[in-house]
Amino acid sequence: MKRFSWVNRFAGATWSVAEQAAAQPSEPISLPATVPLEGATLRLRYLEQTDGPALVDFARRLSSHDLLFLRRDITRQEQVDQWLHETAAGLTTTIIALDGDKIVGYAAVTSDGLAWTRHVLELDVMVAESMRGKHLGRLLTEQAFAVAQERGANKMVARMTVDQHAANNVFRRMGFEPEARLKRQVMDRDGQLHDLQILALDVGAFRAKLAALMMQPPPF
């Protein structure tokens, strides 16, 4: 039985280590893959160099609030070209979800390429409005998490505005915790300011917590 109600979680309650342990992806899905998801059949694969126009089309269907926390404006082709360039350079690994030929979600794992943050990988996830609430975000985050582990991340980070409740839920469930809040850090297109929250997961410390949980005797 779940320890927390949805209301508690919405109010900022945290996940127990047992729940976080249960949320860890067992195996990364071998890509490309076809995934049935609540009435839809989606195709998951790695981003390819020819996906630029489909990515811009996906981005232009998102709300400006969804685009707020991103490192770049992906509604612009030249910014998406930069993303593809980082992909070719091995800095970013992106998994996309396709419904037919339309991108309906992605998860990206990025290194900023600086020597002193080479142990840190940033995760970001985005799902089309029409596909939300079907656990695509969870699936993509789990896969991104597995990719980050495979790439040897010591620390994973994700950034979002504090009112992105679904994103908070998805990442905290995986073991991420709030690490910093940068006040009035994000300015939206209308000039409104928002706080930016950085969630982080220290891979070594988290693995130690999971290992300690395995050592505990059963609760009876």
Ligand X SMILES: CC(C)(COP(=O)(O)OP(=O)(O)OC[C@H]1O[C@@H](n2cnc3c(N)ncnc32)[C@H](O)[C@@H]1OP(=O)(O)O)[C@@H](O)C(=O)NCCC(=O)NCCS
Beta-carbon contacts of 13 under 8 Å, excluding residues fewer than 6 positions away, are: 4
- Give the nearest distance from C-beta 135 to ligand X in angstroms: 4
Coil, strand or helix: which one is 14? coil
- What is each CA distance from 76 to 58, 72, 94, 107, 138, in whole angstroms? 11, 9, 18, 19, 27
- CB under 6 A: which stretch of 75-83, 109-117, 127-135, 145-153 binds ligand X? 127-135
Q: Does 99 bind ligand X (CB under 6 A)?
A: no
For 163, what's the count of Cα atoms within 13 Å in the CB-facing half-sphere?
Answer: 7
- Interface mask toward ligand X for 167-186; x: CB under 6 A: x-xx--x-------------
- Give the nearest distance from C-beta 160 to ligand X in angstroms: 4
Q: Does 135 bind ligand X (CB under 6 A)?
A: yes
CA 18 from chain centre, in angstroms, equals 21
Nearer to ligand X, 66 or 177 (CB): 66
Q: Does 165 bind ligand X (CB under 6 A)?
A: yes
Beta-carbon contacts of 137 under 8 Å, excluding residues fewer than 6 positions away, are: 105, 125, 127, 166, 167, 170
- Give the nearest distance from C-beta 66 to ligand X in angstroms: 4
- Give the nearest distance from C-beta 178 to ligand X in angstroms: 13
Tokens of 83: 């993303």
What number of chain residues touch ligand X (CB under 6 A)? 23
- Give the nearest distance from C-beta 217 to ligand X in angstroms: 27
Q: Does 157 bind ligand X (CB under 6 A)?
A: no
For ligand X, the binding residues in 9-68 under the rule CB under 6 A are: 10, 66
- Give the nearest distance from C-beta 176 to ligand X in angstroms: 10
The Cα–Cα gap between 128 and 46 comes to: 17
Contact 95, 31 (CB under 8 A): yes
Nearest residue (beta carbon) to ligand X: 137
Cβ neighbour number for residue 72 with a 10 Å cutoff:
14
For binding to ligand X (CB under 6 A), which residues are involved?
A: 10, 66, 69, 124-127, 132-138, 158, 160, 164-167, 169-170, 173
